[in-house]
Chains A and B, each alone.
Chain A
Amino acid sequence: MRSCASTGIEGMEKILEVKGLKKTYHRDKNSLTAVEDVSFDVGKGECLGLVGESGCGKSTIAKIITHLTVPDAGSVRLGGQETLFLKGKRERALYRDIQMVFQDPQDSFDPRCTLGDGIMEGMRSQGMKKARAKERMYRLLEMVELDAEMAFRYPHEVSGGQCQRAAIARALAPDPQLVICDEATSALDVTVQGQIIKLLKRLRAGQGLSMLLICHDLALVQDFCDRVLVMYKGRVVEEGTPDEVIRHPREAYTRKLVDSVF
């Protein structure tokens, strides 16, 4: 098994197994291969970082895993089950099992709904009774260290940091198997960023979350992730523990990336 050897997490139960992903975007007569032969695993309770410059294919991978786009080739397994061709009920279950936290929290909530309704929406659409959803929503707010009163606020009435906490609560609501954070802290002030990272660390330890952290901040990856993949022009060029990759980069691109950090 090539992928086991290359990822070095043999023996660990795998939540996500991605193999041979390929995606080409077409427009008119032009085509762009965004992702080329990408394979990796995320172990249970593990946090995998995905770094690389804009356009290297990081977000395309997240889109494929969350069924927002269809790859040209490859396989994505969640908890051992192939997810790429799921339809109907099973596809809806996938939407529950993989959750995302986005870069701009204010943009990711419906501006006409309160944060409380935003957090409950997913639970309700999965068929949970209103009273139970409400109770869970308040528990989630407490978990992300927000006052219960925040449930009645609208996204534009709270700060970016508070809104991102609510977005994390929303992601945790269905007890997901995998949480994908796509630049979840990069739009926040440095001090707020620090608070959100602390919260994510606490949740990781407490809930045993498995995470895929897409980001371009190597310092955050070194602080937060168990393993990291470096992507360049659609391919994975290097992988290892953050310490290995940052202290002894093997590829020229990784070295350039590390040297660029001030």
Chain B
Amino acid sequence: MTPLLDVRHVEVSYDGTPAVHDVSFQMDPGEILGIVGESGSGKSTVVKAAMGLLGNSGAVTRGDIYYKGENVVDGGDDKLRKMRGPSMGMIFQNTEASLCPIRTVGDQLYESVSQHEKVSRKEVRERALGFFDKMSLADGERILDSYPFELSGGMNQRVGIMMAMILHPDLLFADEPTSALDVTVQAQVVKEMMEMRDLYGTAIVLVTHNMGVVEYMADKIAVMYRGDLVEYGKTEDIIHHPQEGYTKELLGAVLRIHRD
């Protein structure tokens, strides 16, 4: 079976300076991979490289990234644009900042969907409402008619998830999707993301600082440190039997609550 995403010995440089060296991992359909590590360790860079979003100063300088057997690195902008959205979705830490402040959520959702499909506003609206229904959010109508600043942080993140998931991508990149949220809201959003995976079989690359969330969600974990992938394996192996010094330090620094 061809892996869904195959990252092979990738090096990414910004303005000639390598930020990520020799990173390799594979993902199967429906798999959740957690990428953990401190700020500046290259977590987000790996995600950006896979989506072709490195910008002008960054480039994959060594290795290749294959998505469903096709090379993303040499793909060219047109091919990537067709992939991003219907095939690969993305959720950011602060959805509100990635939305336009002077247009309603529903309006922007229509704009995004109509880039990839020939649909009517009504159709998009109905699909969005159906989606909110699945997330058990009662007031979908109100959310679609709201401006981003009228919604809470948790609601905006759900809008981000909905906008990414409405095209049913096979792979979802989630860069700190719950870090800005209150713990109770975070718990709900995490559960909703798991339901999405079970419902649509979406593979998820989850970039986060929160070891608790990773342990709960991920099938595999990749630990990054200063641009290197220092440890990669099944979640229970990494959590219970970390091999590398940095992984041990990271796990040792996590405070856990003692319920009994």
Contact = CB atoms under 8 A, between A and B. Distances in A.
Q: Do A and B bind each other?
A: yes
Interface of A: 53-54, 160, 189-194, 197, 216-220, 222-223, 243, 246-247, 256-262
Contact of A262 (B182, B215, B258): B215
16 contacts: A53-B183, A54-B153, A160-B39, A189-B38, A190-B254, A219-B256, A220-B255, A222-B255, A222-B257, A243-B258, A247-B258, A247-B259, A259-B187, A260-B183, A260-B187, A261-B183
B169 to A, nearest CB: 25
A191 B40 CA distance: 13
B213 interface: yes
A189 B187 contact: no
Interface string B237-260: 000000000000110111111111
Contacts of A222: 255, 257-258
A259 B257 CA distance: 10
Which of A53, A192, A220 has its CB near the most chain B CB atoms (within 10 A)? A53
B135 interface: no
Nearest to A256: B184
B183 A216 contact: yes
Given A189-B38, A262-B210, 14 more contacts: A53-B182, A189-B209, A191-B38, A191-B249, A194-B253, A216-B183, A217-B255, A219-B256, A246-B257, A246-B259, A247-B260, A257-B183, A260-B184, A262-B215
Interface string B180-201: 0011111100100000000000
Given A53-B184, A259-B187, A261-B212, A246 B258 contact: yes
B257 A219 contact: yes
Contacts of B210: 262
B213 A262 contact: yes
A111 B121 CA distance: 48
Size bracket, chain B contacts: 20 to 34
Contacts of B186: 260
Given A192-B38, A216-B183, A256-B184, A261 B249 contact: no
Interface of B: 38-39, 153, 182-187, 190, 209-213, 215-216, 249-250, 252-260
Q: Give the residue among A193, A216, A220, A262 with the most B Cβ atoms within 10 A.
A: A262
Q: Which 3 A-B pairs have the closest CB atoms?
A: A262-B212, A194-B253, A260-B187
Contacts of B213: 262
Nearest to B181: A54
Nearest to B182: A53
* Residue in B39, B153, B216, B253 with the greatest tally of chain A CB atoms within 10 Å: B253
Contacts of B252: 194
Contacts of B258: 222, 243, 246-247
A53 B212 CA distance: 19
A22 B257 CA distance: 32
Contacts of A262: 187, 190, 210, 212-213, 215-216
State the main secondary structure of chain B at its contact with A: helix
B255 A223 contact: yes
Contacts of B255: 194, 197, 217, 219-220, 222-223
Nearest to B210: A262
Contacts of B183: 53, 216-218, 257, 260-261
Contacts of B184: 53, 256-257, 260
Contacts of A246: 257-259
Contacts of B215: 262
A223 B256 CA distance: 9
Contact of B182 (A54, A190, A193, A223): A54
Nearest to A242: B257
Contact of B250 (A191, A256, A257, A260): A191
Given A257-B184, A261-B212, A262-B215, A190 B38 contact: yes
A261 B257 contact: yes
A218 to B, nearest CB: 5
Contacts of B182: 53-54, 216
Contacts of A260: 183-184, 186-187
Contacts of B39: 160, 189
Nearest to A194: B253
B94 to A, nearest CB: 14
The residue among B183, B209, B252, B260 with the most chain A CB atoms within 10 A of its own CB is: B183
Contacts of B259: 246-247, 258
A191 B253 CA distance: 5
A99 to B, nearest CB: 24
Interface-centre pick from B182, B250, B254 (highest chain A CB count, 10 A): B182
A220 B250 CA distance: 16
A172 to B, nearest CB: 23
A190 B212 contact: no
B166 to A, nearest CB: 27
